[in-house]
A and B are shown apart, each in its own frame.
Chain A
Amino acid sequence: MNTLVYDGTFEGLLTAVFEIYERKLYAVKLLKGEWRNSALFEEVIPIVTDEVRASRVLRGLRKKLSAAGVQRLYISHMAEIAGEDCNVLGFIRYVFDSEQNIEEDYGNRYVMRLSEILKMVRREKHRMEAFVRFQKLNDGTFYAAIEPDFNVLPLLIKHFKNRYADQKWMIYDIKRGYGVYYDLHDTQFIEMDFDELNNPINVIAAYSEDEGIYQNLWKNYFNSVNIASRKNTRLHIRHIPKRYWRHLTEKI
């Protein structure tokens, strides 16, 4: 058993694949993170991300998979779900070890697992498209904080850019410490100094004048459309799990 340690990037992953085939490794374990020369690991191979090697592997994948198939693989890795690197790697190896395109071979455990991961990621993306709640700040920017289960913020950009083309907005993933800002022309990734922003006094002072009014109107609306005689708490929580409540205006 060999353990490969890589930097967590997609290029790093592809470099690791290159290494596996070049050294003809069979049983491998893939880990993310800093390489430490520790006695715990007998055979640790540090992977140094190499763009040339990564792009050769990518070219190989493009030959064996459809464009959508490569995209799905990329998304599954980018979501950064803990402990799934080995399955993603298993999928890539299955791709290269097969003659034909295997992306619909759901009887295979790696293909099936990738499809499950993708389903989870897409659901989280869809939830974020629904659960983002913008708050209007004094300078006219609409700000929202999110804490998605997986790293889906990059997948949200297109949707929000198409939809809110005429307003400045920012969506910040406070779990992962980065955000996206749209300035009426383009979007960019940003990181903010959090201590200042987290201070409740600053946040409320930064609200636009009518923000509180519309938040209250929305809460009122939310309560008015409920039909009490049909109460179904189980269904309610299945649709909006409690961990999302702290960013939902109507549930705070």
Chain B
Amino acid sequence: MNVDRITEKLNILADAAKYDVSCASSGSDRKNKNKGLGNASNGICHSYTEDGRCVSLLKILLTNHCIFDCAYCVSRKNNDIKRAAFTVQEVVDLTINFYRRNYIEGLFLSSGIFKDADYTMERLVRVAKKLRTEHNFNGHIHLKSIPGASSELMREAGLYADRLSVNLEMPTEAGLKLLAPDKNRQDMIDPMHFLKNEIIKNTEEKKLFKNAPMFAPAGQSTQVIVGATLESDQQVLQSANYFYKNFNLKRVYYSGYVPVLADQRLPALNTAVPLVRENRLYQADWLMRFYGFHVNEIVNNQSPLLDLDIDPKLSWAIRNMQAFPIDINKADLLLILRVPGIGLLSAQKIVAARKFAKLGWDQLKKIGVAVNRARYFITCKSNEFERRDLTGQNVKQFIMGQSQSKYIRNTQTQLNLF
């Protein structure tokens, strides 16, 4: 093994893959077979980079040679950077040796497009096949579906991978046309469609035959870049909602655009990464997936942008003060979930605990409720509650007055974006 060369390749190809934010290694239920290596049952973040993002999978490109020229991408054809390519065996060796040392949960393999879609996809599938069949590797494998790859290859990919993903890149078709003229949104949607149907078919087969092979058991995900083009949060979230609903996606990832290239169509190189906006989008995404919110409750024509100062749940609450206060000892779980300062676990604890005795402020605090936020919206077993008839704006001011945003440092540069 030529250590220096491998090291150089790893540096180049990990660096090129890092803008893909997908990191989940959960959602699969692949067991360790015949005393082989690994399993993919639960998500584990093995480390965290200095920017605070989790390192769960060995996330690399097979190559950063690419025939496309997408404006937002470091690996674009006309960018003057070092290029490299792994062989199939090199990726397999790295994966196995990292996995055995408990560095990673598995492999996330993506690639620049060399020659054509099928040629690229075939290489990705070959890596996964080798890991599964020759090394009895049962860890997590996440493959990129290359837009335009043939159905046969996609089907084979599904047999070896736990998760497959196609990056939509831009939240809207217009954005994609502007920045990636060579790419076609339909080419991205086709494999998603194909995989969705195959996954449904496989679930049906599994019900009938226990031994039916697994097909992408951790489902599909996608990623959109925010802040590179001018889409509103409403457009971003509505497009995410559309893909959750119609393609049964497990996750949509939002990647705040990191300025890597100078191009007239893009924000200037010194623009700050829209970290707060990205954070708010994820909060909104959680509200849609776990808290029973409809996308139109979070963003709509009256408020197409998420409030950067406060989280989207609080933002919804102060727009809907007529829904409050609610009695924590009586209200339905779904209503409690809508109270700012009460999370999923606290809400479940409240509903379980109140069967024994009514709850007061101290107990709510112990259970994990952020009482300083929640107190404007609830009553409990106590004579103390908010008696003033406050408007949403009042509440926002009170809450912001007593909390210090961890993003305050970034606020100034943030505003310039819009």
**8 A Cβ contacts from A205-240 to B:** 210, 213-214, 216-218, 220-222, 224-236, 238-240
Compute how far the CA of A183 lies from the CA of B102 in the bound complex, rounded to whole angstroms: 18
**Contact yes or no, B39 A235, CB < 8 A:** no
Contacts of A232 in B (CB 8 A): 50-52
Which stretch (B41-49, B120-128, B289-297) binds chain A? B41-49
Compute how far the CA of A90 lies from the CA of B241 in the bound complex, rounded to whole angstroms: 48
Number of B residues whose C-beta is below 8 Å from A?
Answer: 59
Q: How many residue pairs, one in A and one in B, have C-beta atoms under 8 Å apart? A: 161
Q: Does A62 contact B (CB under 8 A)?
A: no
Q: Nearest Cβ in chain B — how far from A71, in angstroms? A: 18
Whether A112 touches B49, Cβ cut-off 8 Å, given contacts A104-B352, A167-B37, is no
Q: Does A166 contact B (CB under 8 A)?
A: yes
Which stretch (A48-56, A126-134, A172-180) binds chain B? A126-134
Q: Nearest Cβ in chain A — how far from B124, in angstroms? A: 19
Whether A231 touches B97, Cβ cut-off 8 Å, given contacts A105-B353, A166-B35, A217-B6, is no
**Contact yes or no, B45 A133, CB < 8 A:** no
Whether A105 touches B356, Cβ cut-off 8 Å, given contacts A162-B39, A165-B37, A214-B101, is yes
Q: Does A249 contact B (CB under 8 A)?
A: yes
Which stretch (B8-16, B165-173, B214-222, B229-237) binds chain A? B8-16
Q: Besides A104-B355, A107-B357, A225-B14, 9 other CB < 8 A contacts?
A: A132-B102, A133-B101, A163-B39, A217-B98, A226-B49, A227-B19, A230-B52, A232-B50, A236-B52
Interface residues of B (CB under 8 A from A): 1, 3, 6-7, 10-11, 14-15, 17-19, 31-32, 35-39, 41, 44-55, 58-59, 94, 97-98, 100-103, 136, 258-259, 273, 275, 349-350, 352-359, 363, 366-367, 406
In the A-B complex, the 3 residue pairs with the closest CB atoms: A235-B52, A106-B353, A230-B51
Q: Can you report 27 residue pairs joining A to B where beta carbons are below 8 Å apart?
A: A105-B356, A105-B357, A130-B44, A131-B46, A133-B102, A133-B103, A134-B100, A134-B101, A134-B102, A162-B39, A162-B41, A163-B32, A165-B32, A214-B101, A220-B7, A225-B59, A226-B49, A226-B50, A227-B51, A227-B258, A230-B51, A233-B50, A234-B52, A234-B406, A236-B49, A239-B45, A250-B47
